Amino acid sequence: MQNTLDRFDKIVRDLIEDEKNNPVAEFVPSDELYQRLDLSLSKQGISDEMFEEALKDLVLKTPRTATNAFFNQLFGGRNEKAVLGDLLAVILNNSMYTYKAAGPQVGVEKVTLREVCNLIGWDSSADGTFAPGGSMTNYMSMVMARDAFDRDIRKNGVSQKMTVYTSRESHYSIPKNAAFSGIGRDQVRYVGSDKHGQMDTVDLEKMIEEDVKNGYAPIMVNLTAGTTVMGAFDPIRKVRQICNNYGIWLHVDGAYCGSVLFSDKYKHLIDGIELVDSFSFNAHKMIGTPLSCSIIVAKNKQHLYDSFSNDASYLYQTDHDEFNLGKTSLQCGRRNDALKFWALWKSVGTKGLEEIVDHQFYLADVARNYLRNNTDYTLYSYDESISVCFNYKGIPAKTICTALYEHSELLVGYGSFNGDEFIRLVTINAQNKEEDILNFFRLLESFVEEHDELFENALTTEK
């Protein structure tokens, strides 16, 4: 094992050294991947030296998500405390289903979930679990909503027509999960949103009434805390009222920005969160832990048991259900995703998590201020969102993002809302400083100037 640790140390040091000068990895076009890298597997093994070289080559050519040039998606950075926790989870390699197999790691998960529930304001009747990503925690919420509507569905299968409501701006896992859970993709109702991307509650109520009239059973409303493109927050309190009137399960998908829970300054964005039936968020997004770390909590933990527990005498041989986490989880064997989050939280405290969240909004303010003071840019997003959407000199967002990628300059993506397509800068990496954000714009501007041939069409049509 000592050799392996030394090798790990060497490869990681090389990577980190290289990242300083090259924040973007060399662009490897997908159609040249197997020529540029030897990824082949053969019958015979290779020497340790060749093995190390192969790993190093692979690592150095892999997209760099921890640097100040990665703004592509809703994660980024490298939080050292959380990384340490995750590395230890790999070495320990527990499976989280039973106390017998995970011991104190069960406590790590339980304490983390308990503190999340405390922040929401939920007592000991609430609990939660970890699943591999926000799509899966959303899935768990839909299964609980379905079973809360009719617990016999678990046994008999689906026989009624159920409907689920979510905004047009919500994540694509909602229709996917409707297919998984037997509700059906066509039974997802897409509610309109206002100019900020927040769900229109009048539209929601109209759709529910219409469905009830037509013999459907509305079972769930999914709200989003941080829509994928605009970073908008749906209104929880108003929708709770509507759900109460019709007896509907209310879930908040906070995969992207639900972590505002940790911030005194920004938790007003999820005002009313204590009123929902279930809430999920990804610590691997705003909190900055390694992928994946997604949490779901339910106000009444009985729903978790009702939907996810199965008796298995070969597995649950000791200890109380409370300590056998497999009784409330999606998987059987389950990796320890809690330790990285717990390690970070233990180290920096709730105050430290708050600072991580607040800093991202600060960086977004820096970006918006820059854009507002520069007439070459058009800004599409609004305050209190960490998605900063804009266009530069009228160049199509797709053209510019692709060129930046193919020239190994910056990794940033584009999105669209209300018919506009734009570059979406996500200030989710809390290790970035004001300087890194300003540098992003400087790089973008000098890139366009130096490669005007790429943008000729766009630039001339604008004039």
Ligand X SMILES: *Cc1c(COP(=O)(O)O)cnc(C)c1O
The contact set with ligand X (CB under 6 A) reads: 74, 133-135, 138, 171, 173, 224, 226, 228, 253, 255-256, 282, 292, 294
**Nearer to ligand X (CB atom), residue 190 or residue 216:** 190
**Nearer to ligand X (CB atom), residue 139 or residue 342:** 139
Residue 376: φ, ψ to 5°: -75, -10
Q: Tell how strand 294-298 and strand 278-282 pair up.
A: antiparallel
**Nearer to ligand X (CB atom), residue 232 or residue 401:** 232
Tokens of 214: 């037509």
**Minimum CB–partner distance for residue 73 and ligand X (Å):** 8
Q: Tell how strand 420-426 and strand 411-417 pair up.
A: antiparallel
Residue 283: DSSP 8-state:
I
**Minimum CB–partner distance for residue 130 and ligand X (Å):** 11
**Nearer to ligand X (CB atom), residue 73 or residue 347:** 73
The residue whose Cβ lies closest to ligand X is 134
**Nearer to ligand X (CB atom), residue 135 or residue 336:** 135
Tokens of 454: 């790429």
**Minimum CB–partner distance for residue 380 and ligand X (Å):** 18
Q: Tell how strand 377-379 and strand 188-191 pair up.
A: unpaired
Residues in the chain: 463
Q: Measuring CA to CA, which residue among 137, 130, 98, 110 is closest to residue 337?
A: 130
d(CA 120, CA 35): 52
Segment (H or E) for 251: strand 249-254
Return the bridge partners of 280, or none: 253, 296
**Nearer to ligand X (CB atom), residue 94 or residue 141:** 141
**Nearer to ligand X (CB atom), residue 171 or residue 340:** 171
**Minimum CB–partner distance for residue 138 and ligand X (Å):** 6
Sequence letter at residue 171: H
**Minimum CB–partner distance for residue 93 and ligand X (Å):** 22
Cβ atoms 78, 87 nearer than 8 A = no
Residue 411 buriedness (CB in 10 A; 0-12 / 13-18 / 19+): buried
**Minimum CB–partner distance for residue 231 and ligand X (Å):** 9
**Minimum CB–partner distance for residue 173 and ligand X (Å):** 5
Cβ atoms 384, 361 nearer than 8 A = yes
d(CA 139, CA 179): 10
**Minimum CB–partner distance for residue 255 and ligand X (Å):** 4
d(CA 370, CA 372): 6
**Nearer to ligand X (CB atom), residue 106 or residue 199:** 199
**Minimum CB–partner distance for residue 432 and ligand X (Å):** 19
My answer on whether omega of the bond before 292 falls inside 30° of 0, hence cis, is yes
Q: Measuring CA to CA, which residue among 309, 296, 328, 256 is closest to residue 136?
A: 296
**Nearer to ligand X (CB atom), residue 153 or residue 364:** 364
Residue 439 buriedness (CB in 10 A; 0-12 / 13-18 / 19+): middle
Sequence letter at residue 111: V
**Minimum CB–partner distance for residue 310 and ligand X (Å):** 24
**Nearer to ligand X (CB atom), residue 16 or residue 179:** 179
Cβ atoms 425, 391 nearer than 8 A = no
**Nearer to ligand X (CB atom), residue 133 or residue 415:** 133
**Minimum CB–partner distance for residue 100 and ligand X (Å):** 29
Cβ atoms 285, 77 nearer than 8 A = no
Q: Which residue has the tokens 């926000």?
A: 134
